[in-house]
Structure 1
Amino acid sequence: MTANDKKKAFINIGIIVLIIAIIAGGWTYFANETKTKSSDHWYRIKKSKKIKIGLDDTFIPMGFRNKSGKLIGFDVDLADATFKKLGIKVEWEPINWSTKEQLLNDGQIDAIWNGYTISAARKKKVAFSIPYKKGTQVLVTLSKDKINSFADMKGKTLGLQNGSTAQTQFQQYKNLLKKYVKGTPQKYDTFDKAFMDLKAGRIQGILVDSMYAGYYVKHLSDSQDYKIIYGGYPTDENGVGFRKSDVKLREEVNTVLKKFQQNGKMKSLQEKWFGKADSGLK
């Protein structure tokens, strides 16, 4: 083989290697892109124009049924408005609140949007949107029981929702309420059942989100018979819960929520349902 032939052979080999490298690189990119699209459900949701959101449909005023059975509430309005901007219709799915993260990660729902408090423990299971509402945990009692502080719950029975932030913070902040109440709190699937037991005298207090307590008590015919007591639980923030793989879906929702925080939409919805809005909203 002449020197010229060797040179041509070397060039040909180089071209073949380059082609193989380009093909391999393209295939890797395609595979990664396909993997991303298959693991991020945004592409399915965008194509079908539907998203399934899980909620406790008794959680006033975030998501609940009115007298005619229609689903209404702050989170219902906010989620519907958010996905309307994205050209997607929300399909609301009532769920057992204590299994919400499992239902999300099993693919039975696409998001949790229902006064869902952001916490370190929950961040291990889901990816949260930006915060969109602030709240805290309060104690609701009957005025006739003369309970004016957490200390007045000494030896009395407390109720709370199973799987709720109230349950988590009751255990976490032992010196606030836990050190006073009798035994283990009575757990309920929904807070409306806890209020029935409170009125019947089977429990003497309910630890519940301040937004729920304020709205629920205000709309009772005998609201003057109830008392809401603040006792030092920290301010917490609500967010939307997504699967950790749904990066694009979360980004799309965050973009709309940020717009709502700037253009007055978030403020108007908070004023509609809570009578006032969080500070800092335009």
Structure 2
Amino acid sequence: MAARHHDKNSQEYIVKRFAIAALLASLLPGLAGAEDLAKIKSAGVIRVGTEGTYAPFTYHDASGKLVGFDVEIAQAVAARLGVKAEFIEGKWDGLIAGLDANRYDAVANEVSITDARKAKYDFSSAYIASKAALIVNGNSSIKSFADLKGKKSANTLTSNFGKLAQSFGAEVVPVQGFNDSLELLASGRVDATINDSLSFLDYKKHQPHSKLKIAATEKDADFSGIIFRKGNPQLQAAINKALADIKADGSYQKISFKYFGEDVSH
């Protein structure tokens, strides 16, 4: 009897240990998130990954200063968190992967919210809506996305735009960013580029005599958010509150009108 009683106690002990381990495992994402937010506040800095070559979202002005819509939004969000934004620049193709290597805490770079990305990362609430635009030379025979079949489109390989071009049968010519795409197109080395409609409107504002034009635009808008590592519910909530606050007090609209002449949140 004593032996059986001991076995029963041992089994109960093991079951309890497994139950406690399972409970701790379920709590780990939340604990990690709290720790990330605490680290950011303790350091007084949130590290933000961005391209720096994607006007008007993130680019360098004539003086070499990093500026842009996403840059100012990130700075405004950081201020609401009570910290400063420290920008770490990188090429688009490896930008999001930099989160995995802990190079930064978040990425602000007009990152589209997609199911594939949400499977691996978390997003803030959407803070910008944009459409994919098919950009061509003024005398081009390309009138629609379907006309891309067999044509060359300049795009970053891992971008949504590059994948969209491939879906229409285009040969994607890889580039580092938006400006490179337009340079190849203007020089006639590619037939088109699919890119952000807001970026192109900004380009035309600065290059009014350019012969490049929008041939077609997708009907549905893409929504973008700030992206960060999974398991950061407290950081996510803090960033969402900051975004809501800057929309409520007019700061968001001021930044949006500065770069686009309109509210681009919807």
TM bucket (normalised to shorter chain) is 0.7 to 0.9
Partner residue in 2 for 1:138: 133
1:274 matches 2:260: yes
8 A contact 2:33–2:234 mirrored in 1: no
Aligned AA (1:237) = F
Which consecutive unaligned segments of at least 5 residues does structure 1 have? 1-24
Secondary structure, aligned partner of 1:114 = strand
What does residue range 49-128 of structure 1 map to in structure 2 within 5 Å?
A: 49-128=44-123
Partner of 2:3: none
Aligned-pair CA distance for 1:33: 8.5
Match for residue 218 of structure 1 among 205, 220, 230 = 205
Residue deviations 1:171-229, cap 9 Å, x none?
A: 4xx4xxx14x4xx2111121211211111111011110112111123212533x11112
Stretch of structure 1 that moved more, 106-115 or 159-168: 159-168
Q: 1:1-282 counterparts in 2 under 5 A?
A: 36-37=31-32, 40-171=35-166, 174=167, 178-179=168-169, 181=170, 184-220=171-207, 222-223=209-210, 225-232=211-218, 234-278=220-264
Distance 1:238 1:215 in 2: 18
Give the structure with the higher percent strand.
2
Deviations along 1:235-282, whole A, 9 cap, x unmatched? 1101000111222111111001012222222222211111111477xx
Q: How far is the alpha carbon of 1:155 from its aligned partner?
A: 4.0
Compute the TM-score of the two structures, normalised by the length of structure 1: 0.78
CA contact (8 A) 2:30 2:232 kept: no
What is the RMSD computed on CA atoms of the aligned residues? 2.4
Change (3 A) 1:158 1:231: same
| Equivalenced residues, count | 243
Q: Which runs of 5+ in 2 are unaligned?
A: 1-19
In 1, Cα distance between equivalents of 2:264 and 2:119? 27
Identity percentage of aligned residues:
28
CA contact (8 A) 1:40 1:245 kept: no
Aligned CA distance change for structure 1 residues 262 and 207 (closer, same or farther; 3 Å): same
CA–CA distance in 2 between the matches of 1:156 and 1:133? Answer: 30
Change in 2 beyond 3 A, CA 1:106/1:33: closer
Shift of the 255–156 alpha-carbon distance from structure 1 to 2, 3 Å rule, reads: same
**Distance (Å, rounded) in 1 between the aligned partners of 2:197 and 2:47:** 27
Computing the radius of gyration over CA atoms, which structure comes out larger, 1 or 2? 1
Change (3 A) 1:279 1:247: closer
Partner SS, residue 214 of structure 1: helix
Letter in 1 for 2:202: Y
Letter in structure 2 aligned against 1:103: G
Q: Is the CA contact 1:40–1:247 (under 8 Å) kept in the aligned structure 2?
A: no
